[in-house]
Amino acid sequence: YVANELKLGRPVPPKMFQSATVMFSDIVGFTTICSSSTPLEVVNMLNGIYKKFDDVIAKHHSYKVSSTQNNNEQERTRQWADRAL
C-alpha cells in the first residue's frame, strides 16, 4: 500500500501500532551450501524458500521486509536504489 501511494505522489500518514512481532531468519550454512552447489541449484533453493515464506505471509496477512547482509556497501546501495525505482 505505502509503496503504491508514494509512487502515485500521494502522502502516506504514519500509523502507530501498540505492538509488533518481528521474525528474523537465516539459512544456516548458506555459504557452504553455495560452495557445493551450482548457481542454478542455489537460485532454485532460494526461490522455493521465498515462495514458502510468501505463501505463509499471504495466508496470515503479514508483511515481509527483506534485507541483504552479505553484500558490500556499494552493492547494497545499488540494490536499494533499484528497489526504490
Question: SS3 sequence, 21-72?
Answer: CCCCCCCCCHHHHHHCCCHHHHHHHHHHHHHHHHHHHHHCCCCCCCCCCCCC
pLDDT of residue 42: 95
pLDDT of residue 23: 84
Domain span at residue 20 reads 2-84
Contact (CB, 8 A) for 64 and 57: yes
Percent of the chain exceeding pLDDT 70 equals 88
Q: What is the pTM of this model?
A: 0.57
How many domains, the chain?
A: 1
Residue 43 predicted with pLDDT over 90: yes
Spatial neighbors of 33 by CB under 8 A, at least 6 apart, are 27, 42, 45
